[in-house]
Structure 1
Amino acid sequence: MHANAAESLLPYLVPSRSPRPRARRVLDIGSGSGYLTHIFAQLAGEDSVVVGVEHIGALRALGEANMSKSAGGRALLSSGRVRFRVGDGRKGWTSRRKNVGGAADESEAQGWDAIHVGAAAVELHAELVSQLRRPGRLFIPVEDETRRDEQYIWVVDKDENGKVEKKRLFGVRYVPLTDAPAT
């Protein structure tokens, strides 16, 4: 599934060759071990930022610890190109911190070129679609509306004009995208 996700998002990850390229911004919801987060950062290039979001602090720490095991991973973390955060991934990610500009800015105003969701949502969350840049792509497993025991990968594209197109690809089995456990 990691390969499918990366392949689907690849056109939105690879740095643009246009005369006025923009830094790539990638959101990895349910970042887990940090493996795919690291791959996204490598694909997105030197001026990109990749934010991994987990709803449980221990899972956020796991991703960061795994990435810290290699020199390349440590460099990505220390440069700020990769960050792990705790939050409700169903709402996407926007930072309330002071904006620092460029790709490093986590503000809502910048949006995301690519959003990957690594857990099954009960619906296609509008907040995620609204945070896509123009153009941008969302890769997300979603439970079937009529049969909750079935899940499908959906790809949602937003074009340069903001037009949204949704496409159901194939059946999958993911863990659910849930609330953080009560402490």
Structure 2
Amino acid sequence: MAWRSSGTSNASLVENLWRNKLITQPLVKAAFLRVDRAHYAPSSPYHDSPQYIGHDATISAPHMHANAAESLLPFLLPKVEEGHQSAEGVASVQGRKGRGRRILDIGSGSGYLTHVLAELVGEDGLVVGLEHILPLRDLGEANMRKSAEGRALLEQGRVRFRVGDGRKGWCEPGEEEAGWDAIHVGAAAAELHEELVRQLRAPGRMFIPVEDSHGEQFIWTVDKDAQGEVVKKRLYGVRYVPLTDAPKG
């Protein structure tokens, strides 16, 4: 269905992804409608296909970004804690917000999915886009500044772009023990890096492509439950650029 999901505008692209059941969650559809892919893709922004963005990097096809967002959705939405006993001794939901959601987008590239994730986490959330070279970090931020909504997210500190080795995860200065509710990895790792698993909150989820010993790549989800138990699940085959050292020269 992916090859039939291209459109002539952002709205038609998203509608076709929805019609072909590549987006199935209304909240994800709404977030994709709020982020114009033309601000992030260098050409043919409404084609459901990956595109080269320079520096040995690509922007993934929209259906892959949609799949990642839907997989991570339970760990993206603003958390509401169930309430305490009322005066009559009856449990009720108070609607109090829990701790803000924290999302790490490794290999953020164009910044497109970073922006979509920020639309989903809400006003109290934080999304950090992590890249291994400064030009890609700068590209993501510059693309986000093309829209008023993107500029507001940056100015409010709800989205931050950083440079670092994604294989080691990321800790914001002064927030070393905060961890991440969700980690998205947009490049193929050589293994399920344990440092990334360690940085997951409990509960938390990671969405990551991993290359096996035969050179084949598969999407994995790594779930950590509230007790810290980890479950790893292989999903389906993909083709991503590798999660590696910064290019030489």
**Which position in structure 1 is the counterpart of 2:176?**
108
Larger RCO of the pair (alpha carbons < 8 Å, separation 6+): 1
How far the C-alpha of 1:17 sits from its partner, in A, is 2.0
How far the C-alpha of 1:69 sits from its partner, in A, is 0.4
Do the aligned partners of 1:28 and 1:116 also contact (CA within 8 Å) in 2?
yes
How far the C-alpha of 1:16 sits from its partner, in A, is 1.3
Aligned to 1:40, which of 88, 97, 117? Answer: 117
Determine the C-alpha separation between the residues in 1 that align with 2:191 and 2:232.
13
Pairing 1:18–2:86 present: no
Alignment of 1:1-183 (within 5 A): 1-19=64-82, 21-95=98-172, 97=173, 99=174, 107-144=175-212, 146-148=213-215, 150-183=216-249
Unmatched 5+ stretches in structure 2: 1-63, 83-95
Count of residue correspondences: 172
Determine the C-alpha separation between the residues in 2 that align with 1:140 and 1:112.
14
How far the C-alpha of 1:10 sits from its partner, in A, is 0.3
Q: Secondary structure at the match of 2:81?
A: coil
What amino acid sits opposite 1:11 in the alignment?
Answer: P
Q: Secondary structure at the match of 1:76?
A: helix
TM-score (norm. length: structure 1): 0.92
Determine the C-alpha separation between the residues in 1 that align with 2:191 and 2:102.
24
Do the aligned partners of 1:108 and 1:131 also contact (CA within 8 Å) in 2?
no
How far the C-alpha of 1:182 sits from its partner, in A, is 3.0
Unmatched 5+ stretches in structure 1: 100-106
How far the C-alpha of 1:160 sits from its partner, in A, is 0.3
How far the C-alpha of 1:22 sits from its partner, in A, is 1.4
Q: Which has the larger radius of gyration?
A: 2
Determine the C-alpha separation between the residues in 2 that align with 1:182 and 1:169.
33
What amino acid sits opposite 1:39 in the alignment?
Answer: V
Q: Which runs of 4+ in 1 moved over 4 A?
A: none
How far the C-alpha of 1:108 sits from its partner, in A, is 2.5
Determine the C-alpha separation between the residues in 2 that align with 1:22 and 1:163.
21
Q: Secondary structure at the match of 1:60?
A: helix
